[in-house]
Structure 1
Amino acid sequence: MNFYEKEQNMQNLKFSILKKDDINAVVEIINKAYRGEISGKAWTSEGKILSGIRVNEDMIKEILEEKNSKIYITKFEDKIVGTIQAKLENNSIYIGLFAVNPYFQGSGVGKKLLEFTEKSSMKLYNADKFIMQVISIRTDLIEFYKRRGYKVTNSFLEFPKSELWDFRTNEELKFVVLEKDILR
Structure 2
Amino acid sequence: MKIDTFRHAAAADVADVARLVNLAYRPPAGAAGWTHESDLVAGERIDAARVAAMLDQQQSALLLGFADGRLVACVHVEKEGDSSYIGMLAVDPALQTAGAGKCMLARAEEFARSAFGAVSTRMVVVSAREELLAFYLRRGYRKTGDVSAFPLAAGVGVPLRDGLTIEVLEKSMGG
TM-score for both structures, normalised by structure 2: 0.94
**Which consecutive residues of structure 1, in runs of 5 or more, have no partner in the other structure?**
1-5
| Matched ranges for 1:65-104 at <5 A | 65-104=56-95
Q: Which residue of the partner structure matches residue 168 of structure 1?
A: 160
Q: Distance in 2 between matches of 1:122 and 1:94?
A: 11
| Matched ranges for 1:1-184 at <5 A | 6=1, 10=2, 13-37=4-28, 40-162=31-153, 165-170=157-162, 172-184=163-175
Number of residue pairs matched by the alignment: 174
Q: Distance in 1 between matches of 2:156 and 2:17?
A: 17
Q: Distance in 1 between matches of 2:13 and 2:92?
A: 15
User: What secondary structure does 2:125 align onto?
Assistant: strand
Q: Distance in 1 between matches of 2:38 and 2:130?
A: 15
Give the aligned residue type for 2:127: S
User: What secondary structure does 1:37 align onto?
Assistant: coil
User: What secondary structure does 1:107 align onto?
Assistant: coil
Distance 1:55-1:48 versus aligned 2 partners, 3 A rule: same
Q: Distance in 1 between matches of 2:62 and 2:35?
A: 19
Q: Distance in 1 between matches of 2:156 and 2:110?
A: 33
Deviation of 1:127 after TM superposition, in Å, equals: 2.1
User: What secondary structure does 2:75 align onto?
Assistant: strand
Deviation of 1:158 after TM superposition, in Å, equals: 2.4
Q: Which runs of 4+ in 1 moved over 4 A?
A: none
TM-score for both structures, normalised by structure 1: 0.89
Instruction: Report percent identity of matched pairs.
Output: 28
Name the stretch that deviates more: 70-79 or 151-160: 151-160
Encode CA deviations 1:79-119: one digit per residue, 9 max, x unaligned: 00000000001221000011001111100111111111111
